[in-house]
């Protein structure tokens, strides 16, 4: 799989990249929501792992921009966040087009299953 990770935490990025690549996937990392949005618009990924709580341009901003342009339907986005997200907000995100909402910390087996890696 070709996976994009958008998360501003370098430790999480490093861990996810190493883990996903060890599982045989290609993994692109960006720590900036706006940059992640631009990368998504230039390249089709099999799966996107998106943090919500980032400075300047958040995961919510990425989702809103994709939703406004209609591009969200072409993306498989899994939100992976430490931010407090109520079940109502998680449901709203799913209705918008987000594939899944996972809260950090998450087990690797759950993450793999959610993004479609057996």
pLDDT digits (tens, 9 = 90+) for 20-74: 999 999 999 999 999 999 999 999 999 999 999 999 999 999 999 999 999 999 9
Model pTM above 0.85: yes
Residue 68: give the domain boundaries: 2-115
Task: Give, in degrees to the nearest 5, the angle at Cα 61 between 42 and 101.
Answer: 95
CATH number for the domain spanning 97: value is 3.40.50.2300
- Which burial class, exposed, middle or buried, applies to 44 when counting CB atoms under 10 A from its CB (0-12, 13-18, 19+)? exposed
Domains contained in the chain, number: 1
Q: What is the pLDDT of residue 85?
A: 87
């Amino acid at each position: 799989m070709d996976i994009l990770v958008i998360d501003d935490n370098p430790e999480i990025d490093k861990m996810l990249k190493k883990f996903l690549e060890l599982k045989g996937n290609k993994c692109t990392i960006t720590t900036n929501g706006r940059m992640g949005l631009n990368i998504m618009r230039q390249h089709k990924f099999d799966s996107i792992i998106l943090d919500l709580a980032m400075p300047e341009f958040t995961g919510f901003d990425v989702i809103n921009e994709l939703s406004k342009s209609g591009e969200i339907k072409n993306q498989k986005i899994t939100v992976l966040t430490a931010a407090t997200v109520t079940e109502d907000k998680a449901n709203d995100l799913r209705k918008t087009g987000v594939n899944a909402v996972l809260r950090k910390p998450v087990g690797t087996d759950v993450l793999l299953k959610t993004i479609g890696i057996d």
